[in-house]
Homo-oligomer: A and B are copies of this chain.
Amino acid sequence: MRFEVVAVDPASGLRAGLLHTPHGVVPTPSFMPVGTLGTVKSLTPADVRATGAQVVLANSYHLALQPGVETVQRLGGLHSFMRWDGPILTDSGGFQVFSLDHLRQVGEEGVTFASHLDGAPMFLSPECVVQSQECLGADLIMPLDECLGTAATYAETEAALERTQRWWRRGQAAHQRPDQALFALIQGGLFEDLRREAARAAASHPAPGFAIGGLSVGEPKDVTAALLQATLAELPADRPRYLMGVGHPSDLVTYARLGVDLFDCVLPTRLGRNGTVWCDLDGRRLHLSRRALLGRGGPIVPGCMCMACTNWSVGGLAALYQNRDPLAYRLASMHNLTILGRLAHDLRRTVLYTAEKNSMLRVGKARDW
């Protein structure tokens, strides 16, 4: 994996980059749709591509339970299983384990917990999450981290931070496949100095990229922005920054302007499957379940190039959704993903255009768009 920063906006931290992976180049900023079980629900890979997405995310914890890492391997590995020949990122399962508040026990060795499917006892260690992601075969992989809730104290957060750093070194020692980039994972809760410390510690390792977790979990948006700025200030500029779990249109714009390159979130597709579509670039919502929408002509967002907006009226989409036609989930998901894809594209265009005007663009780098 190689990352190039092509241009930086002098007025903000916004940057246009190119992330080179064994499965293709990703222009950044980029939003990564989430395919928990190996598919972005209700979409084909071609549908996902049509939204402008270039990388997809899958959850190694879910895949390990269902259909199992071995089954994925037998079917040709994760790229083959997902029918996606572009870049893939897998997470470590840490977040899932810590969000299931069920019979969980954290020790220095790793985490013991009960499967969310059948309650079977399971154990995750920093080594085994790397090994299982190596078997799956994603391009970008994540280490095990200890996640805490928003109620964690300073002392708890500091202890978790240090453990996450020890786990990161163990994960790195276990990591064998040179074609996979194992990111460093930065926590630090809602404490600015711990965020800075975590970022500095991560930066001191030869990590190919940085994942920032535990933000945008319910705290006020100005707090998120301040913590994110503190984190980013400590990170080297030449490596990609991935803000985990952020996917609201206005958040994507705000945090990309602070210097984030990669985003992921279930929000656009989860909303879509529940019949909620974003009706502007700020993320205002329209609920397709409303009877009053049935007769409304015109697209959800005029000018939107998604499959829903270029083919169906709001009324037609509302009728599909109210008839419980699975096509509605697909179209609404594609629309919401396209809003994010377009925002990421526009942010990139803006910084490239500004840089070109100011002659700050490195020669020949703009050809990718």
Contacts and interface: CB of A to CB of B under 8 A. Distances in A.
Interface of A: 37-39, 41-45, 66-68, 71, 74-76, 81, 83, 273, 294-295, 297, 307, 311-313, 315-316, 319-320, 322-323, 325-327, 329-330
B42 A315 contact: no
Given A71-B315, A74-B295, A325 B41 contact: yes
Given A39-B320, A39-B325, A315 B75 contact: yes
Contacts of A74: 295, 297, 315
A319 B42 contact: no
A137 to B, nearest CB: 15
Contacts of A322: 66-67
Nearest to A296: B75
B330 A326 contact: yes
Contacts of A315: 67, 71, 74-75
Given A295-B74, A315-B67, A319-B67, A325 B83 contact: no
Nearest to A291: B67
A75 B297 contact: yes
A39 B327 contact: yes
- Taking the full assembly, how many copies of this chain does it contain? 2
A35 to B, nearest CB: 9
Contacts of A312: 83
Nearest to A329: B326
Nearest to A83: B311
Contact of A75 (B41, B316, B325, B329): B316
A259 B208 CA distance: 68
Given A67-B315, A71-B295, A44 B325 contact: no
B326 A326 contact: yes
A323 B81 CA distance: 14
A45 B327 CA distance: 11
Nearest to A81: B316
Contact of A42 (B311, B316, B326): B326
Nearest to A294: B67
Given A67-B319, A75-B315, A316-B75, A41 B295 contact: no
A329 B39 CA distance: 14
A42 B325 CA distance: 6
A319 B44 contact: no
A39 to B, nearest CB: 5
A326 B44 contact: no
Contacts of A311: 44-45, 83
A190 B195 CA distance: 79
18 contacts: A37-B319, A37-B325, A38-B319, A41-B326, A41-B327, A42-B326, A42-B327, A42-B330, A44-B307, A66-B322, A67-B315, A71-B294, A71-B295, A71-B315, A75-B313, A326-B326, A326-B330, A327-B330
